[in-house]
Amino acid sequence: MPSLSEQLQEVRSRAEVCLYSGGRAGEVLSQYSGVINMILRLSFSAFLPQTLASLQRLSTALNILEKYGCNLTNPNRPKYWRTVKHNNPVFRATVDAIQGGRAVLCLYGYSNQLADGLSFPDDVTDPDVGCVAAVTLEVMSLRIELEMLIKVCVCVLCIAIELQGQGLSTVALKCKTQMDLRHLRGSSRVRPLL
């Protein structure tokens, strides 16, 4: 199947030929706007589920980074707060799986590279709570904004599928099982954004 840009180029070429051969702009628009809309809807609904899955993984990683930050700002820090082990399955599956995850940990103060992880420098007795709080707030804000974007994308996906004439229940079930999005209620309704 040709790529989206190849399909759009083909439509453009046909429209150009039509205009050069004496066709009117209104005819060209009516003839090809439906084709362009169909191509865009098909492409959008084909790629949006993968995009949503990626955004959901990023949101999960940000949630874990947020927890690291909250643990560091808590006066009753966990026993092993000084190190983050790379072999930790949660760390590997979330934070280490996104670009920049380790950089955020460095901003928290985990600046020593160990063979099996990251740690605070030996001379640091407590994390810089002000710095950690500021970074955590940014991570938290990004996660919240990302979750709002995910909700909008789910709504757009459902609308795109509906425009293609497919039932929303199929899409909702697919989204729920493939991406485990909590943004769908039941099998055929999208939870309101507010």
Answer yes or no: is 11 within a domain.
no
List pLDDT tens digits, range 4-56. 567 667 766 776 666 666 656 556 556 556 555 655 555 555 666 777 888 89
Assessment of whether the complete model's pTM goes beyond 0.85: no
pLDDT of 97 strictly over 60: yes
List pLDDT tens digits, range 141-186. 999 988 888 887 777 767 666 665 544 444 454 554 444 444 443 3
Answer yes or no: is 42 within a domain.
no
Answer yes or no: is 8 within a domain.
no
Answer yes or no: is 18 within a domain.
no
Spatial distance between the Cα atoms of 84 and 15, rounded to a whole number of angstroms: 59
Answer yes or no: is 171 within a domain.
yes
Q: Domain containing 159: what range?
A: 49-180
Whichever domain contains 153, its CATH number is: 1.20.58.2190
The total of structural domains in the chain comes to 1
Answer yes or no: is 56 within a domain.
yes
